[in-house]
Structure 1
Amino acid sequence: MTAHDSVPEFCPPPPMSVRLDVEVVREEAREAVVFVRGELDRASVPLLVGCLRELLHTDGTDRTVVVNLVGTTFVDVGGMCALLEATGSARRRGSRLYLAGCSTQLVRLLHLTDLFDEVQVISSGRT
């Protein structure tokens, strides 16, 4: 993917009580990076799930989606479960979903729940 070809898209704005921003950048026809900023919790999960569902279920299979979590300040169990479900959905459709910029806390939670091997994490050195 090349940065100069990127076309950013924004998902619909969340309700005022939700502190999450999701930006989708499509750099190639079947590749996208989803930048997540804010708190990924029970209240904000539907926004991210909707965006990922649209990316993964539009125009067939064989997609690559990277969810960049560097801008997240908090990810709770509901957020983690949503990322796991999206990963499984991508796999079932013959696509790939990667997590980048995971916080130490999210990686620890994935290990504690024995779910780390269920996701594909791109190491970013974030601590």
Structure 2
Amino acid sequence: MDLQLSVRPGRGCTVVEVHGELDMATSPQLREGLQRLIDAGDRQVVVDLAGVGFMDSSGLGALVVMFKALRDIDGRMCLAAVQPAVRNVLTVTSVDRVIHTYDTVGAAEADVPSTDGAAGR
């Protein structure tokens, strides 16, 4: 299954909507898409996983690598609208203790720290 990424401005952040399965075949696409945002100057990223029903260790790895990349440049990445199967992977691996997850994109946007206009694109 192909992975679809769409990017839109959020409240004080950039929202990346992900649709498809996050697996060995598609996780590089997610990583590259998030890296493009970082390269463009984005520092506050909300990854909307409402359209992701399956994620394997490759997808998990891509999220962790990009979380660390943003953290290393004083940025922040969080996850929103995580589906039950994906939430299970995050919980079993304890990644949900490191990467904040929110029930909705709106809740994630509401928790974006103020950066005096430096957030987003």
Question: Shorter chain as normaliser: what TM range?
Answer: 0.7 to 0.9
Q: What residue ranges of structure 1 are gaps of 5+ in the alignment?
A: 1-17
Report the aligned-residue RMSD. Answer: 1.8
Taking the TM superposition and a 5 Å limit, the aligned residue runs for 1:1-127 are 18-27=1-10, 31-59=13-41, 63-124=43-104
Give the AA of the match of 2:7. V
For residue 47 of structure 1, report the CA deviation from its aligned partner: 1.1
Give the AA of the match of 2:83. S
Q: Distance in 2 between the 1:42 and 1:93 partners?
A: 27
TM-score by length of 2: 0.77
Q: What residue ranges of structure 2 are gaps of 5+ in the alignment?
A: 105-121
Q: Is the 8 A contact 1:80 1:106 kept in 2?
A: no
Q: Distance in 2 between the 1:107 and 1:73 partners?
A: 10
TM-score by length of 1: 0.73
For residue 84 of structure 1, report the CA deviation from its aligned partner: 1.2
Q: Is the 8 A contact 1:90 1:96 kept in 2?
A: yes
CA distances 1:56-96 after superposition (whole Å, capped 9, x unpaired): 2323x7x2111001011211111011111111111111111
| Bigger CA radius of gyration | 1
Q: Distance in 1 between the 2:37 and 2:89 partners?
A: 26
Q: Distance in 2 between the 1:111 and 1:27 partners?
A: 26
Counterpart residue number, 1:4:
none
Q: Which has the higher contact order (CA 8 A, sep 6+)?
A: 2
Pick closer, same or farther for the CA change 1:113–1:44 going to 2, 3 Å: same
For residue 31 of structure 1, report the CA deviation from its aligned partner: 2.3
Aligned length: 104
Structure with the largest fraction of strand: 1
Give the AA of the match of 2:94. D
